[in-house]
Amino acid sequence: MTQILKTITPVNGGIYVERPLATPAEAEAALARARVAQAEWRRVPVSERARLLSAAVDAFVAAGPEIAREITWQMGRPVRYTPGEVRGFEERARYMISVAEGALADVDVGPKEGFRRFIRRDPLGTVFVVAPWNYPYLTAVNAVVPALMAGNAVILKHSHQTPLCAERFAEALKNLPPGVFQHLHADHDTTAKMIGSGAVDFVAFTGSVPGGKAVEAAAAGRFVGVGLELGGKDPGYVRADADLKHAIDTLVDGAFFNSGQSCCGIERIYVHASVYDSFVEGAVELTKQYVLGDPTEEATTLGPMVRASAADFVRGQTAEAVRQGARALIDAKGFAADRPGTPYLAPQILTGVDHSMRVMTEESFGPVVGIMKVASDEEAVRLMNDSPYGLTASVFTRDVDAAIVLGDQVATGTWFLNRCDYLDPALAWTGVKDSGRGCTLSALGYDYLTRPKSFHLRLPG
């Protein structure tokens, strides 16, 4: 009997999408098609791949307004913001296409009399992309486009919360040869079997730490590459010399954009004692201006979380911190849409927090942030590093040299000065500790989607 995927929209709790899940036989057939198609696709010149994928980006952007509305209904981000995901998709895709020729070029290792020597970057084969719901296109494009540009075949398995995103990829990429790009709606068991089948050559996974462990377990013994982007508990540090208004505006947005459902969102803030009171006052004032409500309305600036259980988890973290001595500075009664047991959750700022509280150490993935007072750079660095995660971290200061010195001391994949919660496609996107392993974006991202093949040629005569 065919299983049915049912996507429940957080907007009103109704069923928004229904799709049949792939059977094991359908998954095996998709893997077989990918293997055959990739053998031909790898022979297509990079310039031709670039032409085809650029046309696909054009098609995707042309459908942008419909795509943006679908994002809102699938996962709850307000309509005033979802067009930004289309723009971000375009920026990353076009950048990765533009650098592919150089990134994939043969590496000349230098002259040696009587020999020609170079290293060629071979595609891996079939890349299996497992994408999440929170930034459904911005996460998937990081792997899908460069994997295809590198000469791999791609199979995309999107979150059950955002199945239409996989279908939008397929529609945009329909000009590619059959089998080069495919998508499947699949359950966890089928996904694990595909990873462990021996027919997948690389897995690009974005999701939770338990999800990453499940991917590694499924791939064990197959000797295939696994790229993992697993989230974070990202900190921001406000030094005494910071532009305070800019720091407040940026960090509050970093904490609450997308209802806090961002792997690189701000989840904890450390502020120098000399500006602490002013920072907290400004952050509270700004946070009270959010409009929580129906994300299909233009006035809404904070939509629902993806599901009621996720909101209840954050409510539980917050209540526990308050019982342990934290102060909640935002009165949820000021947000009429906040209703316990639903995904609609007001933003919250906590003070009086410390690292004995889960809200400062455990990923919240929701609209709550704790603010701690610190006396020095040394204390801030120690607290920023006191985490099992290391995806991004931020400092706000007018001293660029000091920012670089501090960045060298913080265990993180990306170090920001005077900004946060942003991916520049020219820079490597990577994490340390439980935030994962591997790299996407930038020219370096191609290193993980290819394997080096050395050519050692002794010339005749």
Residues 226 and 244 in one domain: no
Residues 363 and 341 in one domain: yes
147-160 residue pLDDT tens:
999 999 999 999 99
Q: Going by C-beta distance under 8 Å and a sequence separation of 6 or more, which residues neighbour residue 347?
A: 255, 256, 260, 287, 290, 292, 302, 330, 335, 367, 368
- Number of domains, the chain: 2
Q: How far apart are CA 134 and CA 219, in angstroms?
A: 25
Q: Give domain status of residue 430, yes or no.
A: no
Residues 19 and 75 in one domain: yes
Place of tokens 């539980």: 316
Place of tokens 């085809």: 52
pLDDT at 380: 98
Which two tokens mark 428? 């490597």
Residues 409 and 299 in one domain: yes
Among 327, 345, 326, which residue's Cα sits nearest to residue 335? Answer: 345
Is-contact 61 185, C-beta < 8 A? no
Q: How far apart are CA 16 and CA 26, in angstroms?
A: 24
| CATH classification at residue 15 | 3.40.605.10
Residues 279 and 410 in one domain: yes
Q: Give domain status of residue 424, yes or no.
A: no
320 catalytically annotated? no
Q: Give domain status of residue 429, yes or no.
A: no
Residues 46 and 182 in one domain: yes
Residues 224 and 240 in one domain: no
Residues 178 and 246 in one domain: no
Q: How far is CA 154 from the centre of its chain?
A: 18
Residues 246 and 200 in one domain: no
Is-contact 449 152, C-beta < 8 A? yes
Q: Which residues pair with 15 in a beta bridge?
A: 8
360-405 residue pLDDT tens:
999 999 999 999 999 999 999 999 999 999 999 999 999 999 999 9
* Pairing state between β 348-351 and 327-328: antiparallel
Q: How far apart are CA 341 and CA 436, in angstroms?
A: 32
Among 359, 132, 369, which residue's Cα sits nearest to residue 265? Answer: 369
Q: Give domain status of residue 108, yes or no.
A: yes
Catalytic-labelled residue, pool 70, 85, 229, 363: 229
Domain range holding 405? 234-417
Which two tokens mark 131? 């994408």
Tell the burial category of 15 from Cβ atoms under 10 Å away from its Cβ (0-12, 13-18, 19+): exposed
Is-contact 158 145, C-beta < 8 A? no
Q: Give domain status of residue 329, yes or no.
A: yes
Query: Is residue 417 left, alpha or beta, with left meaning phi > 0 and alpha meaning psi from -120 to 50?
Result: beta
Is-contact 266 235, C-beta < 8 A? yes
Tallying the residues shown for the chain, one arrives at 461
Q: Give domain status of residue 120, yes or no.
A: yes
Residues 243 and 223 in one domain: no
Which two tokens mark 169? 């990829």
Q: Give domain status of residue 425, yes or no.
A: no
Among 358, 373, 278, which residue's Cα sits nearest to residue 319? Answer: 358
Q: How far apart are CA 137 and CA 52, in angstroms?
A: 19
Among 239, 318, 236, 307, which residue's Cα sits nearest to residue 274? Answer: 239
Residues 368 and 450 in one domain: no
Among 347, 352, 390, 386, which residue's Cα sits nearest to residue 369? Answer: 347
Q: How far apart are CA 361 and CA 354, in angstroms?
A: 9
Q: What is the pLDDT of the chain when averaged over all its residues? A: 98
| CATH classification at residue 272 | 3.40.309.10
Ranges under pLDDT 50 in the chain = none
Residues 166 and 218 in one domain: yes
DSSP-based three-state secondary structure for 267: strand
* Pairing state between β 368-374 and 348-351: parallel
pLDDT at 2: 83
Q: Give domain status of residue 334, yes or no.
A: yes
